[in-house]
Chain A
Amino acid sequence: MRRFGLACLCLALSSGRGIAGTVYVASQEAGAVARIEAGTTGTLAAIAVGGGPAQVAAGPDGRLYLTQPDGHAVTVVDPATNTVLRRLPFAGQAFGIAVSPDGAGLFVGDWANARVVRLSAETGAVEGSVAVGREPAGLVLDARGRLYVADRESRQVSVVDTATMTRTDTLPVGEAPFALALSPKQDRLYVANVRSGDLSVLETGSARVLATVRIGGMPYGVAASADGRLVLVTDQQAGRVVALDAAKLGLQATVSVGRYPEGIVVDGERAYVANWFSDSVSVIDLATLVETGRIPVGAGPRSLAVVPDPPARRPGGGRP
């Protein structure tokens, strides 16, 4: 049902409209992942995964991968059938996660052991490892195979060449970088710094810091709008989302959401925010920057992922 090839992911990335699809939220305290339906006020079927899932990422085939730092595992879920497919053992504290474009490899940050490990998505076999800074938090992979890692207690972003699993660069950012997001064109990397209360804006081509933007409170999540014009930052301390104009890096609006907002994703014309303390997901309409809904979810939601919709059937299209 949600199976499709790689081509559509690349299409979605290059279309300028960004990925449209289905949003999933992982609730750490509840040990569950649930599908969020835009426009509705209720949650759909929650899938019990146990073991305190902290972060979730979607693979190109629509599968969900959830890290369980206290459970020494990464759990694989097929949302099309609402089933847990596998539990991959992880020797460490699995936290941040990214999936390779072909869906074969998982890059998993090991919070306690300052490294990123590459696992086979199918078997869980360790295929490589690279040392990064202390307490690696958010991970994001670009189209060229560069993995960016927010090294929370090293005040830096590590850049990893995933083809060779070597660290090629470290970029100094603010205090306690936690969440990362690439602009749709992937020319910028946004870094939410929890302790210094600001956002580092990096140019990916030159690997330099373009700007540091004051947010205030504790920025714990960041996302770019599909058209690239907005940067959305969650501020946990103030229970709000700060929307910045990406061109000027000035304040566009602030949107009140639930308590302790953390993860944020954009799906088409809407943003979804995991309100960790309030056990809900806020829906923000990006055209008006207004919260249009607040959906109750399992306890302790922190992370969201978007599973892209299958592409429309085209003549000659299909799997690569």
Chain B
Amino acid sequence: MRLAVPAALLALVATAAIAHGPTPQKVHQSVTIAAKPEAVWKVVGDFAGIGTWHPDVAKAEGTDGNTSGGRRKVTLKAGGTLDESLDEWNAQGRTYSYRLSDADLKALPVSSYSATLTVSPDGEGSKVEWLGRFYRGDTGNEPPEELSDAAGKAAMVRYFGDGLKGLKAKVEGRVATGTMPDGRAKP
């Protein structure tokens, strides 16, 4: 049984990139920041600059810039890589939308997602909303617990939440650390 698990996970990794599943899930996190929207956008608006504010990110590399079709490859401290591409980037509206290109269950236990990040005025400061639609890691009818809707939701909420905390700390001039574990649970 212990030997069978990695093989099963490998098979899932192989199929995840093209599996979308019939049951999408929501993720929605927001934070208020004591800074003008322009100042927040300057930090968060650079799509490939996520490594400068997200505490769970080890590094991020961008290609093709802040425009539709622009890409970023995000390597997480806990392992795994998120290959993401921009659908729309709107500096005037201080918003961008992007999607995951290929699933990596080591990074996040989800098979696909799309997301939008928006900075808007909030009193004297700003509000940042980060929302998305994702599908569980195993889109079949009997997913193992670690690839279920609940596992996907927990991971996405944590990843977005950590990011917004890190963004707030960076813009407000403090230091934040992530909550992601250093490594995935061993089988």
- A interface list, Cβ under 8 A from B: 28-29, 52, 54, 69-70, 72, 93, 95, 111-112, 134-135, 152-153, 176, 197, 216-218, 236-238, 259-260, 276-277, 300, 302
Contacts and interface: CB of A to CB of B under 8 A. Distances in A.
Main secondary structure of the interface of A (DSSP, over half): loop
Contacts of B87: 197, 216-218, 237-238
Contacts of B23: 28, 52, 54, 69-70
Interface of B: 18-24, 26, 28, 68, 87-88, 97, 99, 114, 116, 131, 133, 139-141
B22 A237 contact: no
17 contacts: A29-B26, A52-B23, A69-B23, A70-B23, A93-B141, A112-B140, A112-B141, A152-B20, A153-B18, A176-B20, A216-B68, A218-B99, A237-B116, A276-B24, A277-B26, A277-B131, A300-B24
Q: 9 closest Cβ contacts across the A-B interface? A: A69-B22, A237-B97, A237-B87, A111-B22, A95-B22, A54-B22, A217-B87, A153-B18, A70-B23
A135 B18 CA distance: 10
B141 A72 contact: yes
A117 B161 CA distance: 42
Contacts of B28: 277
Contact of B88 (A111, A134, A217, A300): A217
B155 to A, nearest CB: 19
Contacts of A95: 22
A152 to B, nearest CB: 7
B18 A236 contact: no
Contacts of B21: 111
Nearest to A197: B87
A217 B116 CA distance: 12
A157 to B, nearest CB: 17
Contact of A237 (B19, B26, B114, B141): B114
Contacts of A277: 26, 28, 131, 133
Q: Which of B23, B28, B141 has the most CB of A within 10 A?
A: B23
A52 B26 CA distance: 14
A226 B99 CA distance: 34
A260 B25 CA distance: 12
A237 B116 CA distance: 8
Nearest to B90: A238
A260 to B, nearest CB: 6
A69 B21 CA distance: 9
A259 B22 contact: no
Nearest to A302: B24
B141 to A, nearest CB: 6
A302 to B, nearest CB: 8
A115 B24 CA distance: 21
Contacts of A236: 114, 133
A216 B99 CA distance: 13
Contact of A93 (B22, B24, B114, B131): B22
B141 A135 contact: no
